Structure 1
Amino acid sequence: MTDVNSPVEPLPCVGWREWVALPELGIKNIKVKVDTGARTSALHTFAMEFFERDGEEWVRIGVHPIQKSDREWFTEARVIDKRVVRDSGGHEELRPVIETQVCLGDYQFRAELTLTSRDNMKFRMLLGRKALENRFLVDSQGSYMQSVRPSADAQ
């Protein structure tokens, strides 16, 4: 049992939407929806090509990091798993899973991301419960509590 009088460092708050960077993937800015209903985080990919490197499975992906933009970014990542994920509509899909560094404001951490087409979704990325766990509290009314909108040239 935790002593309520012992000093505990409070967790920082994030809003329901934030800007993050995925530096290992070369993505400087991508707007995410903070989604406590999603267990795992998800990244929009419009193209996926699987290949082998040093005996491990890798994937080359195409990403549209900015909504309502034709800007494309291609990058590669090692596939660490494949999982069946149920989307908000109840449909199941087998998705590749990668792990990468996420930068949110002044915070950096590693997170697993499933890869899927989110063409019909407003946000190109979801930040799910596992990435938030023991790191952040979520203020469902707040927006951009740990990040600021990047300038047009920073996108």
Structure 2
Amino acid sequence: MNQLNEPKMVIGSDEWCAFPSLNIPAIKARVDSGAKTSSMHAINILRFTRENKNWVSFEVHPLQKNRKVSVHCEAPLIDQRVIKSSSGDKEQRPVIRVPLFLGEKSWEVEVTLTNRDSMGYRMLLGREAMNGRILIDPEGLCLLGDKHQYSLKGLYRA
């Protein structure tokens, strides 16, 4: 049982998730228990101040292999962290905290922002976001439900 005394969700090695506060109704995440931090594809990242608080604006191409669909996002900036990639490169990244919707559940997660164009997935779900809530079936793909091209076109009006 997790901190909420609920059974843990079983998810596959990739899953569709959503970030409604960022106007992202669907983004496919690679589930990676080897990664500490979650990461989202972001470009044109700009830091700014709103009401004496640090914020960040950025654009997301939420669909793999599709640069036509672009979502403008803004969120409070909670931190700047040096993240070491799987290739060993270090990069300073902005960190935001936003509600993650996965299946029928939602909770707040910290997400770093970086250009993931060279990666296969626009989102990486790291273990900090999963701790106490999730079990991974490495053979499973989209165990919480798949999204088809026509439904994605409707969500993003693409």
TM-based fold match above 0.5 = yes
Match of 1:138 in 2: 136
Match of 1:50 in 2: 47
- Write out aligned runs for 1:57-76 (5 A): 57-69=54-66, 70-76=68-74
Following superposition, the deviation at residue 9 of structure 1 comes to 5.0
Match of 1:23 in 2: 20
SS in 2 for 1:29: strand
1: CA distance between counterparts of 2:57 and 2:154? 25
2: CA distance between counterparts of 1:73 and 1:24? 12
Following superposition, the deviation at residue 56 of structure 1 comes to 1.1
Equivalent AA in structure 2 for residue 24 of structure 1: S
2: CA distance between counterparts of 1:26 and 1:87? 27
Following superposition, the deviation at residue 147 of structure 1 comes to 2.8
Equivalent AA in structure 2 for residue 82 of structure 1: Q
2: CA distance between counterparts of 1:147 and 1:132? 18
Match of 2:95 in 1: 97
Match of 2:114 in 1: 116
2: CA distance between counterparts of 1:23 and 1:10? 24
2: CA distance between counterparts of 1:20 and 1:28? 8
Equivalent AA in structure 2 for residue 153 of structure 1: G
Match of 2:154 in 1: 153
Name the larger-Rg structure: 1
Following superposition, the deviation at residue 21 of structure 1 comes to 0.6
- List 4+ stretches of structure 1 deviating above 4 A: none
The reply to whether residue 37 of structure 1 matches residue 34 of structure 2 is: yes
Following superposition, the deviation at residue 148 of structure 1 comes to 2.3
SS in 2 for 1:19: strand
**Kindly, what percent of the aligned residue pairs are identical?**
41
1: CA distance between counterparts of 2:103 and 2:128? 18
SS in 1 for 2:116: coil
Q: Do the aligned partners of 1:42 and 1:127 also contact (CA within 8 Å) in 2?
A: yes
Following superposition, the deviation at residue 143 of structure 1 comes to 0.8
2: CA distance between counterparts of 1:118 and 1:142? 23
Q: Do the aligned partners of 1:104 and 1:147 also contact (CA within 8 Å) in 2?
A: no
Scaled by the length of structure 2, what TM-score is found? 0.90
- The unaligned stretches of length 5 or more in structure 1 are 1-7
The CA deviation string for residues 51-78 of structure 1, in whole angstroms up to 9 with x for no partner, is 0011111011010001111211101000
Equivalent AA in structure 2 for residue 117 of structure 1: N
